[in-house]
Chain A
Amino acid sequence: MGAFETISFKPEFCNGCNDCMSACAQAKAQSEDFVHSRIQIVPSEGGYELAMCRQCGDPECVLYCPAAALAKDAASGVIDWDATKCVNCLLCTVGCSYGGIVYAAPAGHVIKCDLCDGNPACVKACSHGALKHLRSARIYNEVGNLEDLFVPGLSGCQGCNTELIMRHTLRRIGPDVVLATPPGCIPGMGSVGYNGLAGTKVPVFHPLLTNTASMLTGVRRYYKRIGRNVKAVALAGDGGTADVGFQSLSGAAERGEEMLFICVDNEGYMNTGMQRSGCTPYGAWTSTTPVGERGRGKTQDAKNLPLLMVMHQCAYVATASTAYMEDLYDKLDRAIRACEHGFAYLHIYSPCTTGWRFPSDRNIEVARKAVQTNFVLLWEFDPEGGLRLTHPVEDPLPLAEYVKVLGKYRHLSEEQIAHIEASVARNVKFVKGLAADVPLAAARAGIA
Chain B
Amino acid sequence: MDQTHYLIIGASHAALSALHAIRLHDAQNDITVVTRDESLPYSPTVLPYVVSGRSEPQRVFLRDEDYFARLKVKYRRGAAVRKVSPAQGAVKLADGEEIGFSKLLLATGAAPALPAIPGLTEGKFHVLRTLNDAIGLHQALPQTKQALVLGGGLIGMHAAENLAKGGAQVTVVEIQPHVLSGYFDADASGIIEKVFAANGVRLLTASRVAGLATYVDGWRATLGDGTLLDADLVLVATGVAPVTDYLDGSGIETDRGVLVDDWMRTNAGNVWAAGDVAQARGFFEGRKIINGILPDAVGQGRIAGMAMAGDAGAKPYAGGVPLNTYAFFGQQAVSVGVQEGALDPSGVEVHKQVDAEHASYLKIVLKDGRLAGIFGINAAFDPGIMWELILRRIDLGALKQAFLASPQQTARALMSKTWR
Contacts and interface: CB of A to CB of B under 8 A. Distances in A.
Contacts of B382: 51, 93, 96, 99, 102
Contacts of A44: 413-414, 416-417
Contacts of A97: 384-385, 387-388, 415, 419
Given A42-B409, A64-B294, A98 B387 contact: no
Interface stretch (A84-92, A261-269, A333-341, A430-438): A84-92
B206 interface: no
Contacts of A90: 325, 327, 332, 334, 383
Nearest to B391: A97
Contacts of B59: 68, 84-85
B231 to A, nearest CB: 26
Interface stretch (B43-51, B164-172, B234-242, B259-267): B43-51
A357 B361 CA distance: 60
B393 interface: no
B66 to A, nearest CB: 12
A49 interface: yes
| Contact-residue bracket for chain A | 20 to 34
Contacts of B323: 94
Identify the interface centre among B46, B49, B383, B411: most chain A CB within 10 Å of its CB: B383
B342 to A, nearest CB: 19
Contact of B416 (A11, A88, A89): A11
B121 interface: no
B54 interface: yes
Contacts of A96: 382, 384-385
A63 interface: yes
A40 B416 CA distance: 11
A441 interface: no
Which of B20, B325, B382, B387 has most A Cβ within 10 Å?
B382
A175 interface: no
A94 B383 contact: yes
Interface string A37-63: 000101111000111000000101001
A4 interface: no
A49 B417 contact: yes
Given A87-B46, A87-B54, A93 B383 contact: yes
Nearest to B323: A94
Contact of B385 (A60, A89, A98): A98
B327 A60 contact: no
A66 interface: yes
Interface of B: 13, 16-17, 20, 24, 43-46, 49, 54-55, 59-62, 294-295, 298, 323-325, 327, 330, 332, 334, 336, 378, 382-385, 387-388, 408-409, 411-417, 419
B19 to A, nearest CB: 11
B420 to A, nearest CB: 9
A68 B383 contact: no
Contacts of A75: none
A361 to B, nearest CB: 20
30 contacts: A11-B416, A40-B412, A43-B409, A49-B412, A50-B416, A51-B412, A60-B384, A63-B16, A64-B298, A66-B45, A66-B46, A67-B43, A67-B55, A85-B60, A90-B327, A91-B295, A93-B325, A93-B382, A93-B384, A94-B336, A94-B383, A94-B384, A95-B295, A96-B384, A97-B387, A98-B384, A99-B385, A99-B408, A105-B378, A108-B330
Contacts of A58: 24
Nearest to A88: B327
A358 interface: no
A105 B384 CA distance: 18
Contact of A103 (B298, B324, B332): B332
B60 A67 contact: yes
Contacts of B409: 42-43
Given A44-B413, A97-B384, A66 B325 contact: no
Q: Which of A63, A85, A102, A105 has the most CB of B within 10 A?
A: A63
Given A87-B49, A90-B334, A91-B295, A66 B43 contact: yes
Contacts of B298: 60, 63-64, 95
A42 B13 CA distance: 34
A58 B330 CA distance: 30
A97 B384 CA distance: 4
Nearest to B409: A42
Contacts of B45: 66, 89, 91
A432 B25 CA distance: 52
A137 B325 CA distance: 36
Given A42-B412, A64-B298, A68-B60, A95 B55 contact: no
A99 B387 CA distance: 12
A363 to B, nearest CB: 23
Contacts of B24: 58
Nearest to B334: A90
Contacts of B414: 44
Contacts of B330: 108
Nearest to A85: B59
A44 B411 CA distance: 10
A50 B416 CA distance: 6
A51 B415 contact: yes
Contacts of B417: 44, 49
A63 B300 CA distance: 12
Contact of B17 (A63, A85, A88): A63
Contact of B415 (A68, A84, A98, A108): A98
Contacts of A95: 295, 298, 384
Given A66-B43, A85-B59, A91 B416 contact: no
